[in-house]
Amino acid sequence: MKRKTTEDRLIAEELKRQKEKEHYKSLKMVDKKKYKEELKRERQLNKEKKKENNELRRTMAFFSVVFIVMIGYYCYDLYQAESIVNNSYNKRLKAYSEKIIRGNILTGDGKIIATTETDENGEDVRKYPYNEMFAHVVGMNTRGKTGLEKAYDYNLLTTNLNPVLKALNEFKEQKSPGNNITTTLDYKIQKYCYDSLGNSDGAVVIIDNKTGAIVSMVSKPDYNPNKLDSMWDKIDKGKVKDGFLLNRATQGMYTPGSTFKIFTSLEYIRQNPDYKDFTYKCTGTKVFANYPIKCYDKTAHGNEDIEKAFANSCNGFFATLGTKLDITEFSTDMTECLFNSKLPINIEYNKSKFTLTKDSSTFDITQSSIGQGTTLVTPLHMAMIANAISNDGMMMKPYLVSKITGCNDSLIDSFGPEKYKRIMTKEESATLKELMSAVTDYGTGRIFKSAKYKTGGKTGTAQIDSNNNVNSWYVGYASDDEHDYSISVVIENVPDGSVKAVECAKKIFDNIF
Amino acid sequence: MAELYIVISKYIITILMASYTYFSFKALSKKTEEEYDMFFYTQTFLIYAIYVIGIVIVYLNNKSDTTIILAGAQMIYLVVVLGIFPVIYPKINRMLLSNMCMLLAIGFIELGRLTYTRSIKQFIIIAFATMLTLIVPFLMSKFEIWKQLTWFYYFLGVGMLLSVLLLGIVLGRKSNGSYLMLTFGGISFQPSEFVKILFVFFLAGLFVKGTKFSNVVAAAIASGSFVLTLVASKDLGCALILFMVFSFMLYAASKSKIYLFLCAGGGIMGAYVGSIFFTHVQTRIQAWRDPWPIIDGGGYQVTQSLFAICSGKLTGTGLYNGMPETIPEAHTDFVFSAIAEEFGGIFAILLILVCLNCFLGFVTVSTKQKDIFNKLIAFGLGIIYAVQVFLTIGGAIKLIPSTGVTLPLISYGGSSALSTLIMFAIIQGLSIVGTKDEQKEKNKRTRKDMTIEKKNNRRQTDRRRA
Ligand SMILES: [Zn+2]
């Protein structure tokens, strides 16, 4: 049709041209001249007319581009739709729950850790079959939303049932089943962690080194998500420990203690390629700006190089290293290591804090270098650092959900390993690995000495009050032919001198491997 | 079974809208008369179809008898406008006419769904306004007095704006924190909607006398007084529209890019100064850059709008299945988001394209004008339309800060509807003048050709005789 019309037009034009030619031929000489002039004038006029509208044409083009940009931005909005829609201020989510049965949350090995049941009154009730075990990471749905229940609220409340069937369900006043979330959590490992932490307060995070999948996340004190209502009564009466709702694994801000020496070492190695040559004679105490820094129990560690000092967790050595650092560079590198930065995870968390600047006092610098002072970290952050070290410097993006499935287990979305960021070179990570295996070979973590898996780590004790109570830390990794995990353990309020976090980590690794 | 009907109808409406958009762009590049007719009749049919499918859903939900009456009246309206206008004015631009009706029909459905009582009021205004505007094409094409009233437009426009501002300050009446409305005997009236049109006539009247530097300075000062009065009334959207109209009309009249760049520079400076001095500008800019931390305050509107748009995804929830009522001002400033949620993203994008098509239609009419005054008017009105659509949709999707501008012909608001209908009518009038000019020229040419030919023939016969 279209071709025909253009052909027609071409033929018509051709005919017209021929006619003009004939007409021209039939003219007399004088008329020919006149005719030519007239044609010329007409062409000129046409040209001018076109020129006259040049600005209008350009304006049309300009606004066409503006409108197309608008369409592009609309698509960009839709591209991020899921993260936008999943917001507690979006009143639609509540409306969805009247038409949709909230979907299940499963562990990676297929155990249901959150589901919806209908009670005798026909009301939907959210059930958590393993009670406290997954409490914080799964979160809650009533009494405010937290954890995965919050992060995937929208997905749990939508269905991939085809719209016609959905409409039919609505017509029959039946709810449609919501989508299910499969997490990366491993039931067995979660149980080891949960049991190993025992009655202590604290947190454990385990990350699969090769993928970045979070296989376990435990926080204590915990709560039974099935009994939230009675919990609330107790809170009102002041009978419950404070802060049990806080997911310490991602939101707990802890002084890192000696585990921070990982960063001090990294920075010193980076700034001083001849780091191996530096030695120091530890006498148990060293005074910086009128303030003594003591090693644990005032033990004199004697002559040390960086490896030995790291294994012994020698405070004097690392405080001295701190004074030798370019603090501006230190501060930028710590930002690179995700201090004061967002973490790539979609459940609630706090940003770790590092506050040194080039104007900091010697006191602050030496304190920070041994992990005291104003520096604060979250267990998840430390696990991510261990992950980067064991991964040749490449940090994997931590993730908690591996797939979203709809009715009949149809796959809607899946999430896999993603490299997040290189925070150190391969060489630097190799050096840190040497230091960390020294810790488990003959240093403060030597209970790992006879372990049948390859491992390395760093212990820490962070002073939190003057009563000799400390937070006990362990950050490390372990692997054998099959598995490769990073771990971060923190246990609160341990009497000074016990090494509970490292014992807890060993118990967990012994169970896994 | 209403649910099922809604789900199926949303797909059908999207398909109909897609074909409508296709034809409206085909019609833009004028084809043969027969093709053009075919496009118009198809488009007319598509408008009826979309309207009927949509309004049935509204009826299924409120089951009220008045809906049937209203729907009947609106259907008659559409049939009359699409049927009678082309008869009264055979030279009318039918592509723009059908676009106008399409936008009105979408507005009828959406307002019926959002605020039923307001929808009745709005329709009554539209019906009367349309009757009034029937005469506009006639006035535009028959009289030539319009060129001589330049300063009358100016004083009328500024006077209206000042009176609203002063009355507002004296009586302390504010709507949404700005002085916009005049109310006589229960009928409120928003002068800025009409000032936009007066402003275009004013500038056209000035620029038709050329763009000597002195003339440009006069235009700039006069436009400045318009814009500043609007800024004082806190009607930033309209101030922006007038500024853009000034920039582009100056560009078109002077054919100088330098002026355009100067205006762009001035605009950026103005926006910067505005963002320093006005806190309400600051909050809007903040709400645009990152509304999420202030979702409780300044970011509330735009985040609710984004919730609606993103819940609609590509195919929409279907009418009454979304929650557009959670968006503040869903029936005025954010009507686009309300439509996007329930009609879906594809429909919303098609709607943007139809609006673009309207603008291109306006400017195409402008290119056909021989008279510079008329050319500038059609062009200026086109700019008003395009900027207004850009401001409202851009604000709803968070491309730009929201400026509180309504979507022409769709949003609720009598003044806005009346002024937009007048704009369309003026364009139609000019379109008639334009086609007449074209016709005249053609006739002249053929007559000339004929005379030459006649002369020729005579000469030939003379020669033969000799
Ligand atoms: Zn020491």
CB atoms near residue A297 (< 10 Å):
9
Tell me the average pLDDT across B164-172.
77
Mind listing the pLDDT tens digit for each residue in B38-49? 899 999 999 999
Q: Tell me, what's the ipTM? A: 0.93
Q: How many structural domains does chain A have?
A: 2
Residue A425 lies in a domain: yes
Mind listing the pLDDT tens digit for each residue in B308-326? 999 998 999 999 989 999 9
Structure-model confidence comparison of residues B167 and A157, the more confident one? A157
Q: Which residues in chain B are contacts of A171 at CB distance < 8 A? A: 1, 3-4
Q: Does B452 touch chain A (CB under 8 A)?
A: yes
Q: Does B60 touch chain A (CB under 8 A)?
A: no
Q: Does A59 touch chain B (CB under 8 A)?
A: yes
Residue A414 lies in a domain: no
Structure-model confidence comparison of residues A388 and B2, the more confident one? A388
Q: Which residues of B313-333 are buried (b: 16+ CB within 10 A; e: fewer)?
A: bebbbbbbbbbbebbebbbbb
Instruction: Work out the widest C-alpha separation in chain A, in whole angstroms.
Output: 122
Query: How high is the pLDDT of residue B183?
Result: 63
Q: Does A56 touch chain B (CB under 8 A)?
A: yes
Structure-model confidence comparison of residues B458 and A483, the more confident one? A483
Query: How high is the pLDDT of residue A269?
Result: 93
Residue A349 lies in a domain: yes
Looking at the structure, do residues A225 and A136 belong to the same domain, yes or no?
A: no
Handedness of CA B185, B189, B194, B196 (dihedral sign): positive
Q: Cβ A54–B306 below 8 Å, yes or no? A: no
A-B contacts at Cβ under 8 angstroms: 128
- Nearest-CA distance A44 → chain B (Å): 15
Q: Does A120 touch chain B (CB under 8 A)?
A: no
Residue A375 lies in a domain: yes
Q: Cβ A71–B352 below 8 Å, yes or no? A: yes
With a pLDDT cut of 70, the percent of chain A lying above it is 94
Looking at the structure, do residues A201 and A229 belong to the same domain, yes or no?
A: yes
d(CA A32, CA A35): 5
Give the pairing of strands A401-405 and A124-127. unpaired
Q: In the structure, what pLDDT confidence band is assigned to residue A228 with cuts at 50, 70 and 90?
A: confident
Looking at the structure, do residues A164 and A201 belong to the same domain, yes or no?
A: no
Do the beta carbons of residue B25 and residue B95 sit within 8 Å? no
Sheet with A401-405, strands from edge to edge, namely: A124-127, A112-118, A105-106, A180-183, A401-405, A411-414
Looking at the structure, do residues A171 and A98 belong to the same domain, yes or no?
A: yes
Mind listing the pLDDT tens digit for each residue in A93-151? 888 888 889 999 999 999 999 999 888 887 888 999 998 999 999 998 887 888 999 99
Q: Does B440 touch chain A (CB under 8 A)?
A: no
CA of A466 to the centre of ligand 1 (A): 21
Q: What is the mean pLDDT of chain A?
A: 88
With a pLDDT cut of 90, the percent of chain A lying above it is 52
Last residue in a domain, options A126, A151, A183: A183
Tell me the average pLDDT across B57-83.
92
Substitution target in A20, A24, A67, A168 with the highest count of B β-carbons within 10 Å is A67
Looking at the structure, do residues A173 and A198 belong to the same domain, yes or no?
A: no
Residues facing A214 on adjacent strands: A207
d(CA B352, CA B358): 10
Q: Cβ B390–A70 below 8 Å, yes or no? A: yes
Residues 298..337 of B with a Cβ closer than 8 Å to A: which?
300, 303-304, 306-307, 309-311, 313-315, 318, 322-323, 326
Q: In the structure, what pLDDT confidence band is assigned to residue A394 with cuts at 50, 70 and 90?
A: very high
Looking at the structure, do residues A224 and A169 belong to the same domain, yes or no?
A: no
Residues 380..399 of B with a Cβ closer than 8 Å to A: which?
383, 386, 389-390, 393-394, 397-399
Chain A CA closest to residue B458: A27
Length of chain A: 513
Q: Does A64 touch chain B (CB under 8 A)?
A: yes
Q: Cβ A84–B399 below 8 Å, yes or no? A: no
pTM: 0.82
Q: Cβ A59–B383 below 8 Å, yes or no? A: yes
Residues 170..229 of A with a Cβ closer than 8 Å to B: which?
170-171
Q: Cβ A67–B345 below 8 Å, yes or no? A: no
How much is the CA Rg of chain A, to the nearest whole Å?
34
Residue A411 lies in a domain: no
Tell me the average pLDDT across B373-401.
95
**Minimum mean pLDDT range among A295-304, A356-365, B223-232:** A295-304
CA of A496 to the centre of ligand 1 (A): 17
Q: Domain range spanning residue A433?
A: 194-401+421-512
Q: What is the mean pLDDT of chain B?
A: 88
Residue A267 lies in a domain: yes
**Minimum mean pLDDT range among A64-78, A161-175, A317-331, B351-365:** A161-175
Q: Which residues in chain A are contacts of B459 at CB distance < 8 A? A: 28
Q: Cβ A59–B345 below 8 Å, yes or no? A: no
Looking at the structure, do residues A365 and A493 belong to the same domain, yes or no?
A: yes
Query: How high is the pLDDT of residue B275?
Result: 85
Substitution target in A22, A76, A89, A166 with the highest count of B β-carbons within 10 Å is A89
**Ligand 1 is an ion; residues with CB less than 5 A from it:** A 282, 295, 301, 314, 316
Q: Does A346 touch chain B (CB under 8 A)?
A: no
Task: Say which amino acid occupies A36.
Answer: K
Query: How high is the pLDDT of residue B270?
Result: 87
Looking at the structure, do residues A200 and A148 belong to the same domain, yes or no?
A: no
Looking at the structure, do residues A164 and A199 belong to the same domain, yes or no?
A: no
d(CA B104, CA B78): 9
- Can you tell me which residue has the tokens 């990471």? A137
Mind listing the pLDDT tens digit for each residue in A20-43? 777 767 766 667 777 788 888 888
Looking at the structure, do residues A299 and A429 belong to the same domain, yes or no?
A: yes
Reference B394, options B440, B348, B455; nearest CA is: B348
Residue A6 lies in a domain: no
CATH number at residue A320: 3.40.710.10
Looking at the structure, do residues A170 and A288 belong to the same domain, yes or no?
A: no
Handedness of CA B249, B254, B260, B266 (dihedral sign): negative
Q: Identify which of A66, A92, A168 has the shortest CB distance to residue B323.
A: A92
CATH number at residue A138: 3.90.1310.10
Q: Cβ B307–A89 below 8 Å, yes or no? A: yes
Give the pairing of strands A214-220 and A112-118. unpaired
As a three-state string, the secondary structure of A377-424 is ECHHHHHHHHHHHHCCCEEECCECEEEEECHHHCEEEECCCCEEEECC
Q: Which residues in chain A are contacts of B252 at CB distance < 8 A? A: 55-56, 59
Q: Does A6 touch chain B (CB under 8 A)?
A: no
Residue A36 lies in a domain: no
Q: Does A57 touch chain B (CB under 8 A)?
A: yes
d(CA B230, CA A315): 68
pLDDT at A236 > cutoff 70: no
Mind listing the pLDDT tens digit for each residue in B121-148? 999 999 999 998 888 888 887 777 888 8
Query: How high is the pLDDT of residue A237?
Result: 67
pLDDT at A233 > cutoff 90: no
Last residue in a domain, options A151, A183, A215: A183
Q: Cβ A91–B363 below 8 Å, yes or no? A: no
Q: Which residues in chain B are contacts of A166 at CB distance < 8 A? A: 7
Handedness of CA B294, B300, B301, B307 (dihedral sign): positive
d(CA A155, CA A183): 13
Q: Does A45 touch chain B (CB under 8 A)?
A: no
Helix, strand, coil fractions of chain B, as percent rounded to 5 = 80, 0, 20
As a three-state string, the secondary structure of B280-322 is HHHHHHHHHHCCCCCCCCCCHHHHHHHHHHHHHCCCCCCCCCC
Q: In the structure, what pLDDT confidence band is assigned to residue A245 with cuts at 50, 70 and 90?
A: confident
Query: How high is the pLDDT of residue A191?
Result: 94
DSSP secondary-structure letter at A200? Answer: S
d(CA A398, CA A214): 6
Looking at the structure, do residues A252 and A306 belong to the same domain, yes or no?
A: yes
Last residue in a domain, options A153, A183, A213: A183
N-terminal to C-terminal alpha carbon distance within chain A: 74
**CA neighbours closer than 13 Å in the CB half-sphere of residue B177:** 9
